[in-house]
Amino acid sequence: MLDKYTYGTVDRINPEAPVPILNVSYEKNTLGGAGNVAKNISSLNEKICLFGICGHDQFGNKIKELCNENNINYYLIDDGRPTIIKHRFVALGYNQQLLRVDYEKKHPIHNEYIPHIIKKLIEMDPKIIVISDYAKGFITKKLMDNLKKNCSGKILVDPKPSNANFYKNVYLVKPNLKETSEILNKNVKNNDEEVEKAGLKLVEIFNSNIVITRSHKGSTLITQEGDIYHIPTMAKEVHDVSGAGDTYIAVLSYALNNNYPLKEAVELANKGSSIVVGKLGTASITIEELFGRWYNDYQMYFFR
């Protein structure tokens, strides 16, 4: 999906209705949804291929253009629906989002596309497959069943509760606290005891490792073996949580692709999302931000 931002100043209220008037200063387009995950992974100097649905229209062309600019390969299906757009209107000076307008048509992809998707993935043979599920129709149970059957890579899922029955037996599922509550159909409070119980139940349901992200309280990892780790956040100042979950799973996939043990991978992902919430808008993280300025010297010394 395409994230479109219209920035402007607000100096007065509309005399026709009690709403602010936004005097437009500039506009910006960025990759949204799974595209933002791909952008984050690419900015960490990893090879990435983006799969999804993209309309044959000007906004679909913009997505492909942005993919090319960000060194993202793509395999995008046009099934006749228009490109999904999330258009946000933001007041400069206040860093305040005034309104979001969504353009989308949601329905499952036809089964005829699934063999082509699986064939492409088998050819690529990725070590990590990230499922960034926004319940727009690309992720279906049949697609997930075929992925698990035919692809050897570790599957990481950023879930949608409505599709919870798709994800059993993947490597890892990463719900936030709200999604955890919806999957379990109970209100899970943000304290260690309740999160631990909820996480152990999710391990049982999905037969997978579980990471529950907990906003200002960081995240909790519950492994398939029943080990539990609470990892605090590092965020000092929060400007915008848009895309923080995308950055989290992107950094997690980066770490696992580079053979980090699971706990250390989760710690690095926690750090990455703590950095990105300090930025305005749907943002991505760089390798230098994640590891510090010494990273370039490290690269020159060890990889020359």
Residue-level pLDDT at 288: 85
- Looking at residue 278, its pLDDT comes to 54
What are 29-57's pLDDT values in tens digits?
999 999 999 999 999 999 999 999 999 99
Please tell me the distance from the alpha carbon of residue 277 to that of residue 245, in angstroms, as a whole number. 10
pLDDT of residue 277: 66
* Cα gap 75→29, rounded to integer Å: 20
Tens-digit pLDDT profile for residues 194-238: 999 999 999 999 999 999 999 888 899 999 999 999 998 765 554
pLDDT at 294: 44
Q: Which letter, b or e, does each residue of 188-226 get, where b requires 16 or more Cβ atoms within 10 Å of its Cβ?
A: beeeeebbeebbebbbebbebbbbbbbbebbbbbbbeee
Choose the weakest-confidence range: 17-26, 98-107, 210-219, 227-236. 227-236
Kindly tell me if the per-residue pLDDT of 241 is higher than 80. Answer: no
Within 8 A by CB and 6+ apart from 159, the residues are: 131, 133, 167, 173, 174, 175, 179, 183
Is the pLDDT confidence value at 77 over 70?
A: yes
Stretch 70-94: mean pLDDT: 95
What's the pLDDT score for residue 256? 97
Rounded Cα–Cα distance for residues 228 and 181 (Å): 19
User: Which pLDDT belongs to residue 274?
Assistant: 79
Res 137: pLDDT: 96
**Is the C-alpha dihedral spanning 61, 282, 85, 173 positive or negative?**
positive
Q: Is 292 exposed, middle or buried (0-12, 13-18, 19+ CB in 10 A)?
A: exposed
Convert the pLDDT of each residue in 259-300 to its tens digit. 999 999 999 999 888 787 655 555 678 888 888 744 444 343
Mean pLDDT of the region 14-26 = 96
pLDDT in tens, 51-74: 999 999 999 999 999 999 999 999
What pLDDT, on a 0 to 100 scale, did the predictor assign at position 280?
Answer: 54
94-116: average pLDDT: 94
Active-site residue list:
246
pLDDT at 239 over 70: no
Each residue's pLDDT tens digit, 156-203: 999 999 999 999 999 999 999 999 999 999 999 999 999 999 999 999
